[in-house]
Amino acid sequence: MVTINKLSVTVRKRIFVLFILVLICSVLLGLRTAWVQVFHNNKYQNKALEQRLREVKVEPKRGIIYDRNKVELAVSASSDTVVAAPKDIDNHQQVAQQLSKILDMSKSEIHQRITKNASAVYVERKISEEQTKQIQQLDLDGIYFTEESKRFYPKGNLASHLLGFAGVDSQGLQGIEYYYDRYLRGEPGKISIENDAIGRKIPNGIKDYVAPDDGTNVHLTIDHVLQYITERELDKAMKEHDAQAATIIMMNPETGGVLALANRPTYNPNQFTEYSAELWRNRAISDTYEPGSTFKIITASAALEEGVVHPNDKFYCPGHIEVAGQTIHCWKEGGHGKQTFSEVVENSCNPGFVQVGERVGTEKFDNYIRAFGFGKKTGIDLPGEAKGLLYSSNNIGPVELATISFGHGISVTPMQLITAISAVANDGQLLEPHLVKEIVEKDGSLIKKIEPQLVRKVISNKTAATVRKLLTGVVEEGSGKKAKVKGYKIGGKTGTAKHYGKKLYDASFVGMLPADDPKLVALVVMYGVDSYPYYGSQVAAPIFHNVVKDAVRYLELPPGNDSKEEEEKTESVEQVKVPNVKNMTLDKAEEVLIERGLEVKLEGRGNKIIEQVPKAGVIVNEASTVILFFSGNEDRKDNYQVTVPKLKGLKLSEARDLLGDLGLQIEIKSRGNVISKQKPNPGLTVGSEDKIKVWLSY
146-165 pLDDT per residue, tens: 777 788 899 999 999 999 99
How would residue 656 be classed by pLDDT, with cut points 50, 70 and 90?
confident
In a domain, 100, yes or no: yes
139: domain CATH number is: 3.90.1310.10
Q: Is 468 helix (H, G, I), strand (E, B) or coil?
A: helix
42-79 pLDDT per residue, tens: 666 666 655 556 666 677 888 999 999 999 999 987 77
Do 124 and 142 contact (CB within 8 A), yes or no? no
Residue 262: its H or E element: strand 257-264
Do 251 and 426 contact (CB within 8 A), yes or no? no
| In a shared domain, residues 621 and 676 | no
Pairing status of strand 599-603 against strand 625-629: parallel
Set 79, 293, 405, 624: catalytic member: 293
Please give the share of the chain, as a percent, with pLDDT higher than 90.
48
| In a shared domain, residues 403 and 486 | yes
- Within 13 Å of residue 269, how many CA atoms lie on the same side as its CB? 30
In a domain, 7, yes or no: no
**Which one is predicted more confidently, 627 or 419?**
419
The predicted structure's pLDDT at residue 563 = 39
| In a shared domain, residues 479 and 420 | yes
Residue 353 has pLDDT above 90, yes or no: yes
Closest CA to 331 of 533, 542, 544: 533
In a domain, 26, yes or no: no
How far is residue 77's CA from residue 130's CA, in Å, rounded to a whole number?
Answer: 15
Range of the domain at 119: 54-220
| In a shared domain, residues 635 and 655 | no
In a domain, 686, yes or no: yes
| In a shared domain, residues 438 and 485 | yes
In a domain, 38, yes or no: no
What is the pTM for the complete model shown?
0.82
| In a shared domain, residues 213 and 343 | no
| In a shared domain, residues 211 and 65 | yes
| In a shared domain, residues 99 and 160 | yes
| In a shared domain, residues 411 and 352 | yes
Closest CA to 346 of 456, 478, 252, 231: 478
How far is residue 476's CA from residue 481's CA, in Å, rounded to a whole number?
Answer: 6
In a domain, 29, yes or no: no
Number of domains in the chain: 4
| In a shared domain, residues 653 and 631 | no
How would residue 568 be classed by pLDDT, with cut points 50, 70 and 90?
very low
**Among residues 640, 670, 685, which one ends one of the domains?**
640
264-289 pLDDT per residue, tens: 999 999 999 889 999 999 999 999 99
Q: Which of the residue ranges 254-258, 309-313, 465-469, 614-618 would you say has the lowest mean pLDDT? A: 614-618
Average pLDDT of the residues in 205-223: 82
Q: Is 207 helix (H, G, I), strand (E, B) or coil?
A: strand
Distances (CA, A) of 218 to 75, 157, 178, 439: 11, 19, 12, 5
The predicted structure's pLDDT at residue 104 = 79
Q: What is the mean pLDDT of the chain?
A: 86
How would residue 321 be classed by pLDDT, with cut points 50, 70 and 90?
very high
**Which one is predicted more confidently, 463 or 570?**
463
**Among residues 625, 640, 655, which one ends one of the domains?**
640
How far is residue 164's CA from residue 93's CA, in Å, rounded to a whole number?
Answer: 40
| In a shared domain, residues 122 and 228 | no
Q: Is 293 a catalytic residue?
A: yes
Terminal-to-terminal C-alpha distance of the chain: 167
The predicted structure's pLDDT at residue 606 = 83
In a domain, 338, yes or no: yes
Please name the residues in contact with 402: beta carbons below 8 A apart, sequence gap of 6 or more. 321, 323, 326, 328, 354, 357, 358
| In a shared domain, residues 189 and 254 | no
Do 514 and 548 contact (CB within 8 A), yes or no? no
Query: 3-class secondary structure for 267-312?
Result: CCHHHHHHCCHHHHCCHHHHCCECCHHHHHHHHHHHHHHHCCCCCC
**Among residues 220, 249, 275, which one ends one of the domains?**
220
In a domain, 306, yes or no: yes
The predicted structure's pLDDT at residue 100 = 84
